[in-house]
Structure 1
Amino acid sequence: MDRLPSRLNLSARVLEINDIGWPFCSARVESLSHVLFSCDVAVDIWRNARIWIDIQLPILESWIDWETWFQRWNASPKMKGRMYVITAALSWTLWRFRSAFIFDPGKMKKQELFDLIRLYSFNWCTIRGKDLLVGLIGSLSLCKLVVLLPSLVSR
């Protein structure tokens, strides 16, 4: 699952990387888990998502944590579908923020991230299925992710 070109992964592939720290917060190694779950930006976004979807989502540290929680979560297939889409949108947006921060500073602002997540969730539900969309609009309580993101975005 951790195949994206984070600085940690690139250095593990014997590419010469001067610094494997995540430049946004300079506090930790740039790994997928840090960028998507434990960086201050990610923590804030996940907190906003918990409020938005109004479910008891635990604090997550990695994809393994998310997958474990998702498999044990006792929810309807529609609710799981919505959570799947929201998590995909959240992950996609955080990774895009990471890339923009490195390659095109100033392109994305931290304050805009959550609005983008909600927009992507809405758009992906519109594309993927009307049943998901109805629940997303109707209640606001509300969807293996990185692998599916290119196919979701390209539609």
Structure 2
Amino acid sequence: MGAHQSSDFVDLWKLKIPTKSLVFAWRLIRDRLPTKMNLSRRQVTVNDLMCPFCGGAMEEAAHLFFSCSKIQPLWWESLSWVNLLTALPQNPRDYYLQHVLGYVEGKKQIRWRCWWIAMTSTIWKHRNKIVFHNDTLDGSKLIEEAVLLLWTWIKVMEKDFAIHFNQWSSNIKEAFSN
């Protein structure tokens, strides 16, 4: 990866969220997560290479996190929070960059970056529940868990943040627009 591409992610490491979440995001951006296709490329035997959410495509990071028919509507919902209509990138790096460039500023920009990490890490958590515990996908629950995760991070990052979760989550669009 070139110097320019690496410099795109300097701000990632400045976010005041758990290191585990930052490492997860970095691994996703660089396509280094143990998706079924990545494991298969490394000669690990994987019985079923299909996406655990839709079953209609191979489980690669770009599909699993962004273009899966079960996941993409969740992204569209969050994009509506910032009144953004756009073509969605097809790879993790470009998707992350879309979440950090120019749509919102200041605290809202940091929240938006953290949202991307909260959403992707929650998707991965739900994927693992399906793969390892035969769970099922509930998109509403996934969004709720990602919103709670983001709220917990904001509570720690922003000293003046004192909004109760129920109030904040019921007005989530305002968290990114004012």
Q: What is the TM-score when the length of structure 2 is the normalising length? A: 0.68
1:125 to 143, 151, 154: 154
Q: Amino acid of the residue matched to residue 84 of structure 2?
A: Q
Match of 1:145 in 2: none
Shift of 1:105: 2.1
Shift of 1:66: 1.9
Runs of 4+ residues deviating >3 angstroms: 130-134
Q: Does the C-alpha gap of structure 1 residues 71 and 24 become closer, same or farther in structure 2, counting only changes over 3 Å? A: closer
1:50 to 65, 74, 79: 79
Task: Encode CA deviations 1:62-120: one digit per residue, 9 max, x unaligned.
Answer: 22222442454253232210101111110011111110011112376333111111111
Q: Amino acid of the residue matched to residue 93 of structure 2?
A: I
Match of 1:33 in 2: 62
Matched residues in 2 for 1:70 and 1:87: separation? 7
Matched residues in 1 for 2:162 and 2:65: separation? 25
Aligned-pair identity in percent equals 24
Q: Does the C-alpha gap of structure 1 residues 108 and 124 become closer, same or farther in structure 2, counting only changes over 3 Å? A: farther
Task: Encode CA deviations 1:108-136: one digit per residue, 9 max, x unaligned.
Answer: 633311111111111111122236777x9
Q: Which moved more, 1:7-16 or 1:69-78?
A: 69-78
1:92 to 93, 98, 121: 121
Matched, 1:6 2:35: yes
Q: Amino acid of the residue matched to residue 141 of structure 1?
A: F
Unpaired runs of 5+ in structure 1? 143-155
Q: How many aligned residue pairs are there?
A: 140
Q: Which moved more, 1:62-71 or 1:10-19?
A: 62-71
Q: Does the C-alpha gap of structure 1 residues 26 and 112 become closer, same or farther in structure 2, counting only changes over 3 Å? A: same
Q: Does the C-alpha gap of structure 1 residues 133 and 6 become closer, same or farther in structure 2, counting only changes over 3 Å? A: farther
RMSD: 2.5
Match of 1:140 in 2: 175
Q: Does the C-alpha gap of structure 1 residues 74 and 50 become closer, same or farther in structure 2, counting only changes over 3 Å? A: closer
Matched residues in 1 for 2:119 and 2:162: separation? 17
Does the Cα contact within 8 Å between 1:55 and 1:141 map onto a contact in 2?
Answer: no
Shift of 1:55: 3.3
Q: Does the C-alpha gap of structure 1 residues 9 and 133 become closer, same or farther in structure 2, counting only changes over 3 Å? A: farther
Q: Which moved more, 1:101-110 or 1:41-50?
A: 101-110
Q: Amino acid of the residue matched to residue 55 of structure 1?
A: N
Q: Amino acid of the residue matched to residue 47 of structure 1?
A: W
